[in-house]
Amino acid sequence: MAVDDQIALIDFLGIRRMNPRLARSFLDAWLEEAWVWLDGKPRRDHGMVLSDTRATRQRGLFYRMLSEAPIAFKGTRLVPTREAMGWEEHQVHYLHVGFKMLFEQLDNYHVPKKLPCDPARRLQFVEALRHDLDSNHAPQIMREAWTLWSTRKAHNRAKAQARAAAKAAAASTIEPQTDSTPS
C-alpha cells in the first residue's frame, strides 16, 4: 500500500479506532522523524540527507491524531487524561520530550551545513509549522506545549542575562590591586 493510501486509511479510521499503542507510537515517531530530519546530522538508518520526509506529508494527520489523543497538560507536565494501554504517564513523557526537541529546531532554524540536498523543503516545513503554531492551526495541546516551551526559554534567557549583568557589575566594582612596595 502506498504511503498516501496508508495516510488516507489512518485518517479515515482516526485515532479512536486505532490500537492506542500504535496511535501513540505514530505521534512519537512523527515528532522524532521531524526533528531528526530538520537536524540533518547522520543517525542510524534515518534519512537526514533526503530532501523530503514522510513527516512533511503527514502533518495534517499528525495534527488530527494529536488533537484526538487522550492527553493534557497538568501544570507543566503532559499527562494522559484516561487510562489506556500505550498512554501511560511515562510513555506520554516521550511526547513532551519530542515537542521540546522539535521546538528547539523551530525556534531558530538554520539549514545544516554541507547538506547534500536542496534545503527548500526543510525551510517550507519549518515555516509551515511556525505559521500553524502562531495562527492557531496546530492542535491545542501542541500550542500549549509551544507556549510553555517559549515561556521557559524566555525565563531562562532572562535569568542568564541577570547572572551575566551581576557578574559584570561585581567585576567592575573590584578595584585593581596596585603594588605599593618601593622598587
CA distance 149 to 144: 8
Q: What is the pTM of this model?
A: 0.78
Q: pLDDT tens digit string along 157-175?
A: 899 999 999 988 888 876 5
Percent of the chain with pLDDT over 90: 37
Helix axes 20-39, 120-134, angle to 10 degrees: 120
Res 117: pLDDT: 81
Res 4: pLDDT: 72
Question: Mean pLDDT in the chain?
Answer: 84
CA distance 112 to 5: 31
Q: How far is CA 180 from the centre of its chain?
A: 59
Q: Is the pLDDT of residue 108 over 70?
A: yes
Q: Residue 52 burial (CB < 10 Å; 0-12/13-18/19+)?
A: middle
86: Cα within 13 Å, side-chain hemisphere: 15
What 3-state DSSP class applies to 141?
Answer: helix
Average pLDDT over residues 152-156: 91
Average pLDDT over residues 40-51: 64
Q: Is the pLDDT of residue 104 over 80?
A: yes
